[in-house]
DNA sequence: ATCGCAGCCTGTACGC
DNA sequence: TGCGTACAGGCTGCGA
């Protein structure tokens, strides 16, 4: 569920809570598969005794850099949530892994669907898959975006969701950006005009910026929705124009919004504003 | 290169 | 109310 704005929100809150400077005294693992490729023992040996020096983000990964050149990547996937707790506080059944700090507090990972992943390694290359540019990297200009689009025959929405093409965009913000740019989700990516590519570039940044400003998007109120640190909810849902609003009127033209499937993902758009599949 | 599908899990919403 | 089914914001691996 979490996309770039949601992960960025969590990262900022981790910093604000004072995660930097903590030293790992131990690791608790209730669901070993969260570690993918490491046993709990091997994982613990990588982190124990190390101090957290930097808390950052790359794509949808939370990155913790530790003393001695070790890094930890956390991917929240669909339902991952982080929260701090006193060591003695009771554990929820959905808590799959936690760091124990020397000060007695714990950073706990609550993950209902258990898709989330924690991975530790000395190099970022070993930690992260191939990832496209960060949408807010100054080097990621509209020119770069256009160059990356060329030769891409896939549907534009599929491309926006491809983390190797562009990092951080997920289903919500892809739909919102395409509506903003007035582009049909199934348009062939290399068929966009110069102006359309520029509009999409701006739209992606605009919807992500709004998402961050509103601390992410939380929908509904079940246990499977995005929550910020400590279970707080993001406020961006009220700004969404099309996502999961099929059947309701388009905020721009009033026509009923529709839902289709593109690349096996639910896709929401306005059949009037976002018209042609082909230029 | 690109596509579709299964799989990883559990909770929620909806139809009957 | 209960039960079955579809669906979910992510990603990977596989075969075609």
A4: left (phi over 0), alpha (psi -120 to 50) or beta: alpha
pLDDT for the residue A1: 73
Q: Which nucleotides of B are covered by protein (CB under 7 A)?
A: 1-6, 8-13
The whole-number Å distance from A205's CA to B3's C1' is 28
pLDDT for the residue A31: 97
Please enumerate in sequence order all residues whose Cβ is within 8 A of that of A220, keeping only pairs 6 or more positions apart, or say none.
Answer: none
**List A58, A148, A205, A265, catalytic entry:** A265
Residue A119 · residue A34 · CB < 8 Å: no
Which protein residue's Cα is closest to nucleotide B5 at C1'?
A264
Give the orientation angle of helix A142-149 with respect to helix A194-213, to 10 degrees: 120
pLDDT for the residue A278: 58
Query: Can A87 be counted among the known catalytic residues?
Result: no
Residue A204 · residue A229 · CB < 8 Å: no
Mean pLDDT by 10 residues, chain A (279 residues): 94 97 98 95 98 98 97 96 96 96 97 96 94 97 97 96 97 97 96 97 98 93 83 93 94 95 94 80
Q: Coil, helix or strand for A204?
A: helix
The whole-number Å distance from A222's CA to C4's C1' is 21
Query: Can A32 be counted among the known catalytic residues?
Result: no
pLDDT for the residue A223: 76
How is chain A split into domains, by residue range? 4-127, 142-269
A4-127 and A142-269: same fold? no
Residue range A142-269 forms a domain whose CATH class is mainly alpha
**List A2, A5, A135, A185, catalytic entry:** A2
Which protein residue's Cα is closest to nucleotide B10 at C1'?
A113
The whole-number Å distance from A267's CA to C8's C1' is 13
Strand B lies under 7 A from the Cβ of residue A148: no
Fold entry, domain A4-127 = N-terminal domain of MutM-like DNA repair proteins (3.20.190)
């Amino acid at each position: 569920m979490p996309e770039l704005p949601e992960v960025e929100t969590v990262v900022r809150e981790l910093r604000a809570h004072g995660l930097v400077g903590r030293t790992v005294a131990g690791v608790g693992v209730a669901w070993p598969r969260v570690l993918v490729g490491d046993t709990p023992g091997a994982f613990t040996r990588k982190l124990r005794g190390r101090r957290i020096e930097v808390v950052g983000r790359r794509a949808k990964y939370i990155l913790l850099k530790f003393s001695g050149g070790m890094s930890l990547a956390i991917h929240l996937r669909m339902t991952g949530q982080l929260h701090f707790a006193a060591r003695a506080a009771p554990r929820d059944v959905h808590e799959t892994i936690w760091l124990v700090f020397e000060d007695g507090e714990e950073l706990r990972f609550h993950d209902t669907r258990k898709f989330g992943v924690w991975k530790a390694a000395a190099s970022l290359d070993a930690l992260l898959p191939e990832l496209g540019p960060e949408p807010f990297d100054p080097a990621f200009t509209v020119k770069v975006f256009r160059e990356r689009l060329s030769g891409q025959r896939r549907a534009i929405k599929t491309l926006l969701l491809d983390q190797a093409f562009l990092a951080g965009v997920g289903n919500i913000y892809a739909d919102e950006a395409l509506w903003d740019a007035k582009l049909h989700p199934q348009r062939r990516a290399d068929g966009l005009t110069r102006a359309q590519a520029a509009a999409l570039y701006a739209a992606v940044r605009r919807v992500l910026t709004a998402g961050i400003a509103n601390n992410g998007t939380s929908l509904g109120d079940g246990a499977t929705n995005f929550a910020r640190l400590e279970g707080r909810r993001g406020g961006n849902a009220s700004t969404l124009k099309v996502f999961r609003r099929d059947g309701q009127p388009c905020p721009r033209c009033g026509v009923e919004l529709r839902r289709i499937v593109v690349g096996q993902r639910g896709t929401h758009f306005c059949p009037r504003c976002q018209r042609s599949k082909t230029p």
